[in-house]
């Protein structure tokens, strides 16, 4: 039974071991709780599209599961989500940025960052360099507190903690999507891209 409408590539391209291929084939005919969910609602909503309902429900379930795994991972390292997001931005910014830029990246007001930056600084994850006189004057002229010109720099310990936290989530992502071969992983990514592009096109209109 080929549920995805194309012939699997793993045997011809030798991308799977025999045991992995057999395990994947065994799952193709299996039902999950979402199938039961769709059956129940189809009896109430005859016009319900079972494929759309099944896909959306599974995506929601997967996203919720990965969010819970991520939260447990952050808790293991004593990080709140907003603190980890600040570290994430710092990594992307090349380990250094200003409070103003960090606030823009996090879509929050600069004044609300004090608590999380203080917590990260206390743990040695970031170093805050106070704005110099000229920078404070420029901030004041723009009607902003001088602290918004402060520079925030990620430390080696902050980077290591950020990396360990995301690695835990990454392991679970690889475990779950590892049930698909490379061709299926590329296919599902491509199909979801088309859906996302539809959303982006709608937002632009």
Angstrom distance (rounded) from CA 90 to CA 145: 21
Q: What is the pLDDT of residue 110?
A: 87
What is the residue-averaged pLDDT of the chain?
83
Q: Are the C-beta atoms of 168 and 73 separated by less than 8 Å?
A: yes
- Positive or negative torsion for Cα 131, 132, 136, 139: negative
Q: Is 107 exposed, middle or buried (0-12, 13-18, 19+ CB in 10 A)?
A: exposed
Residue 193 is inside which H or E element, if any?
A: helix 182-204
Q: What is the pLDDT of residue 21?
A: 66
Residues in Cβ contact with 143 at an 8 Å cutoff, skipping those fewer than 6 apart: none
Q: Are the C-beta atoms of 126 and 153 separated by less than 8 Å?
A: yes
Determine how many CB atoms are found less than 10 A away from the CB of residue 177: 13
Q: Per-residue pLDDT tens for 160-183?
A: 999 999 998 899 999 999 999 999
Q: Are the C-beta atoms of 193 and 36 separated by less than 8 Å?
A: no
Angstrom distance (rounded) from CA 204 to CA 153: 35
Angstrom distance (rounded) from CA 86 to CA 103: 9
Mean pLDDT of 77-88: 94
- Beta strands, E only, the chain: 96-98, 126-129, 151-154
pLDDT higher than threshold 60 for residue 123: yes
Residue 42 CA to chain centroid, in angstroms?
Answer: 32
Angstrom distance (rounded) from CA 76 to CA 86: 17
Percent of the chain with pLDDT over 70: 76
Instruction: Give 106's DSSP letter.
Output: T
What's the pTM value of the predicted model, to 2 decimals?
0.71
């Amino acid at each position: 039974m080929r549920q995805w409408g194309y012939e699997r590539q793993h045997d011809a391209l030798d991308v799977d071991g025999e045991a992995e291929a057999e395990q994947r084939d065994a799952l193709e005919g299996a039902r999950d709780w979402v199938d039961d969910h769709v059956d129940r609602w189809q009896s109430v909503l005859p016009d319900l599209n079972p494929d759309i309902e099944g896909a959306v429900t599974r995506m929601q379930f997967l996203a919720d599961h990965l969010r819970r795994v991520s939260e447990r991972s952050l808790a293991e390292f004593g990080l709140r989500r907003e603190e980890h997001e600040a570290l994430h931005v710092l990594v992307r910014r090349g380990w250094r940025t200003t409070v103003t830029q960090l606030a823009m990246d996090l879509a929050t007001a600069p004044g609300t960052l004090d608590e999380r930056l203080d917590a990260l600084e206390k743990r040695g994850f970031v170093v805050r360099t106070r704005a110099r006189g000229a920078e404070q004057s420029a901030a004041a002229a723009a009607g902003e507190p001088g602290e918004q010109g402060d520079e925030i720099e990620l430390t080696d310990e902050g980077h290591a903690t950020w990396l360990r936290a995301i690695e835990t989530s990454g392991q679970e992502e690889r475990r779950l999507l590892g049930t698909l071969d490379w061709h299926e992983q590329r296919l599902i990514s491509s199909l979801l891209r088309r859906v996302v592009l539809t959303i982006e096109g709608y937002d632009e209109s």
